[in-house]
Structure 1
């Protein structure tokens, strides 16, 4: 069979490759490094700006914004904004997005041809061979592969947005835990000061014989316990501050941030449960990622089925140049050298013959991968609905508990202690009753702070159960002070 020359062939193939690339839509790098989706979602759902630091100018701008935010007293919103601008782990997630974009652009380009040249030299002959090889299989599947790569990149954009949501949720939760720890310290400082004054008074009464040793010991024990609880609260405050510092990406002199002394007051009205599940189905980023991955797998399955019989097809164009010399003796007896040269052009197609595997294994593996992804998506949807319901239960319940402390328990505890003090001054009750009431009020105030902290964390959990990015905000870290106070107060 006669094939056209390699030069002629590639004059035909290369324009076809260019046409295929144009039809497949060669991708190019976006001017915003693929950040449009993340920036749009962060602004819409969080009301915050996000920036990918790619050069010194962007880095300086971000640092200036962080410095400006750090000058004032920090709020939950400013803490989230600082974290989004300053956390290096988030920047690494944006770098992964850039890597995904580079892979998408690479997948949209036509396959590079391979060129080889060889030379074989003997005493009387020389052979030069040039080869140009291109993959017809990769060229034919380029549009499908480019489309799949584009879908994969869009999924990577959603994953970057999910990382942004997760960091924002962590920063807001940790802000509330830290402020709650500060509020605990402030209250316990007042309790210690009051206990110290009472302890000094009891000491003087004991020295004058107006109080026995048992009553003195009880009052001194209250003061000692309050001092121990204050030390624990201060330790917890330092730990919570360090956790917040890590999330915000701060170090050096920037760690000395100004935080409020009290948590925000409880809102008078709370969010209703109307259509929370439907909102989560539309907005949850993890569900969007799962849907996008499922669509990509469906396209990969279609490509696998379309190419099940062929793994690769290579087109090879070869040009061979032979030059030989033959020595002969002429009629006059002199030696003569005859030069002979010839040029050959050949075209070869190389492909795999599926004698033992007709692609069933590839198709079966692709189908099972698709079904597994479909089942995971269904599971995520069911879990998301449950997580929203659970988060709303925690949100509403924690608001009721915190409100009960504020409107019922704390006013009653104050009334009890005030009346106990009046009756003790009138010598109607002994010091034991006064100490018990004082302990109970300390414990109730500590629990009230924890209840208010739990409500604000539940607010974050409900928000991110709806939009994605983390739904489990444990409040155990800041409960150590209240637990310790409850154990010590309950033991007396």
Structure 2
């Protein structure tokens, strides 16, 4: 049994044993969740320690996956969430370790003399320097945990941007596929009608082959659009964990661009204040500044150790008493540590300045791209699509008066369909650019202004029953439909502009 320690030694042991309580079992996910929800994203579903997560289920009926629901699925199923959780656990463990003192050390020695007698020495030692530096280690570990929490929130923010881009591309690809399917339907009906005219002797063989080629080309275009839509849908399912089947559907179309945009100065100001990776870089600078100050203040402190030793002599006599071991700063007074701390601080400041400048460049570039895409959409809507429609109408008139042939009319309609598809893709590119701007700023902003009405496919596509190119017969009916379609599209656009509640959500030309 060990001899009873002195009162001083017991007090030292009690003091050294303080601060050894463990941390709560949570891994510090509360702050990342708060930062994410403050930026307009749903709260992530963090896995448990065994990796299990709650399973969001699609309802038995077909469910429409909007962007928020897609993010909900991604924040449950994507591996980045589990990886982020694991990294937070490592930082939390490092904080727990910093809160605990190093274990005491027990020494034992038995020395035997030639006569068979033995001398036994026992010792118990504690690192006093470790005790003195324990509050500082705890403070640094808390700062490192906060920095890791900011990086975790930034990783989720980046994942949300990736999911948003995939969702936009999937919706746009689906809309293009639907448009190409309607074009195929109209081209097939036109080719079928041309077959009947040819059988009756009212259509030349060249015009028949042109109709057949148009139908084949429309079929290839529809197949390519379907492939792109399926690929985009699977890409979204891979990111979110949605099933690779038809148990869920996407919205019919993307909304039109907004008419009001924030200024570059406002966005850059928000960038510096709210972007998570910049906040993490600022936290790194603060930690390096704190580390340099601590290194300077404690530069003279070397290894300091308290020990208590008791010894049993061969003749039965016993010796016991405390001791102190102190490292003397004769050859090094902490100069290398100070130099290292200064260099680390300079690196941290340089990285912060570089990140701010890079972020400002990304914001201004993304804003310029979004504004450019907005103007492109407006040009399609206000200039190119009406011009293509007018060309088709005028070409139809010239066909009626036998000034041009059906081939010119077919070419005009193909260009009209291509222009409408490019219009849909321009809307897609606008929202992709807007998503990149949101990622660059690091926060969402309140939408101001109203959506313009989205032109529906019926503004460029006649009903299949009237889609045939009848040579010299029925052309007046085709012309009459074109004029009627133009008038109807104009009336719908005027109605949408006078009703802000529609916000541009329409399906095939009819505002929902």
TM-score interval, smaller chain: 0.7 to 0.9
After superposition, give the CA deviation of every residue in 1:228-278 in whole Å (9 maximum; x if it has no partner).
22222222112111211121123466x742112322233344445462211
The answer to whether the aligner puts 1:114 opposite 2:113 as a matched pair is no
Q: Structure 1 residue 223 and structure 2 residue 198: aligned? A: no
Structure 1 distance, partners of 2:317, 2:236, is 79
Q: Secondary structure at the match of 1:46?
A: coil
Q: Deviations over 1:456-476 (max 9, x none)?
A: 12222222222269xxxxxxx
Paired position in structure 1 for 2:307:
316
Query: Aligned match of 1:41 in 35, 45, 49?
Result: 35
Distance in 2 of aligned mates of 1:399 and 1:201: 40
Q: Does 1:142 align with 2:131?
A: no
Query: Is 1:6–1:347's contact at 8 Å kept on the other side of the alignment?
Result: no
Q: Are the counterparts in 1 of residues 171 and 254 from structure 2 also a CA contact under 8 Å?
A: yes
The match for 1:490 is none
Partners in 1 of 2:323 and 2:386 — Cα distance? 93
SS of structure 1 residue aligned to 2:317: strand
Of 384, 390, 412 in structure 1, the residue corresponding to residue 365 of structure 2 is 390
Q: Larger % of helix: which?
A: 1
2:272 and 2:278 in contact (8 A); partners too: yes
Within the candidate set 141, 152, 167, 1:160 is matched to 152
Q: Which residue matches 2:13?
A: 14
1:314 is paired with a residue whose SS is strand
Match status 1:89 vs 2:80: yes
Asked if residue 236 in structure 1 is aligned to residue 228 in structure 2, the reply is yes
CA contact (8 A) 2:367 2:437 kept: yes
Does residue 340 of structure 2 align to residue 371 of structure 1?
A: no
Of the candidates 171, 192, 195, which is equivalent to residue 163 of structure 2? 171
Matched, 1:130 2:108: no
CA distance in 2, matches of 1:67, 1:116: 64
Q: When the two structures are aligned, how many residues end up with a matched partner?
A: 440
The C-alpha deviation readout for 1:150-182, integer Å capped at 9, x for no partner, is 111111111121122111111111101001110
Structure 1 unpaired stretches of 5+: 324-339, 470-492
Question: Secondary structure of 2:248's match?
Answer: coil
Whether the 8 Å contact between 1:318 and 1:347 is mirrored in structure 2 is yes
Cα-Cα RMSD? 3.0
The separation in 1 between residues aligned to 2:349 and 2:368, in whole angstroms, is 29
CA deviations 1:332-363 (Å, max 9, x no partner) are xxxxxxxx312223555445555655433322
Q: Is the 8 A contact 2:110 2:119 kept in 1?
A: yes
Contact 2:62-2:247 within 8 A present in 1 as well: no
C-alpha spacing 1:373/1:385, structure 2 compared with 1 (3 Å): same
**CA gap 1:380/1:430 in 2 versus in 1, 3 angstroms:** same
d(CA) in 1 for partners of 2:60 and 2:145?
33
C-alpha displacement at 1:84, in angstroms?
A: 1.8
Q: 1:177 to 1:319 in 2, by over 3 A?
A: same
Pair 1:194 & 2:186 matched: yes
Structure 1 residues 9, 27: CA separation in 2 closer, same or farther (over 3 Å shift)? closer
* Structure 2: 5+ residue stretches without partners: 445-512
Contact 2:80 2:155 in 1 (8 A): no
SS at match of 1:141: helix
TM-score (norm 1): 0.80
Tell me the residue number matched to 1:292.
283
Residues 344-391 of structure 1, C-alpha deviations (whole Å, 9 max, x = no match): 235554455556554333222221111011011111112222222222
Distance 1:163 1:8, change over 3 A: same
What is the alpha-carbon distance in structure 2 between the residues aligned to residue 136 and residue 405 of structure 1?
Answer: 75
Q: Is the partner of 1:412 in helix, strand or coil?
A: helix
Q: Alpha-carbon deviations, 1:21-67, whole Å to 9, x = none?
A: 4xxxx7853575312212222222115222322279x957x32x454
Displacement of 1:303: 2.8
1:263-298 Cα deviation digits (max 9, x unpaired): 223334444546221111111111110000111111
Q: Counterparts of 1:69 and 1:37 in 2: how far apart (Å)?
A: 35
Match among 265, 277, 280 for residue 268 of structure 2: 277
CA distance in 1, matches of 2:21, 2:32: 20
Q: In the aligned structure 1, how far is the partner of 2:313 from the partner of 2:393?
A: 113
Give CA deviations for 1:93-125 in whole Å, capped at 9, x if unaligned: 022112211211210222221223344567632
Distance 2:160 2:279 in 1: 19
* Structure 2 equivalent of residue 102 of structure 1: 93
108-117 vs 148-157, which deviates more?
A: 108-117
The 8 Å contact of residues 173 and 228 in structure 2, kept in 1 or not, is answered as yes
| Mean Cα deviation higher: 168-177 or 206-215 | 206-215
SS of residue matched to 1:316: strand
* 1:393-444: CA deviation from partner (whole Å, max 9, x where unpaired): 2222222212322233223323333443454355442122112112211211
Q: State the distance in 2 between where 1:85 and 1:98 align.
A: 18
Relative to the length of structure 2, the TM-score reads 0.77
Q: Alpha-carbon deviations, 1:177-216, whole Å to 9, x = none?
A: 0011101111111112222233334445556665555444
1:412 aligns with 2:406: no
Distance (whole Å) between structure 2 residues aligned to residue 98 and residue 245 of structure 1: 28
Contact 1:186–1:261 under 8 Å retained in 2: no
Q: 2:433 aligns with which of 458, 463, 471?
A: 458
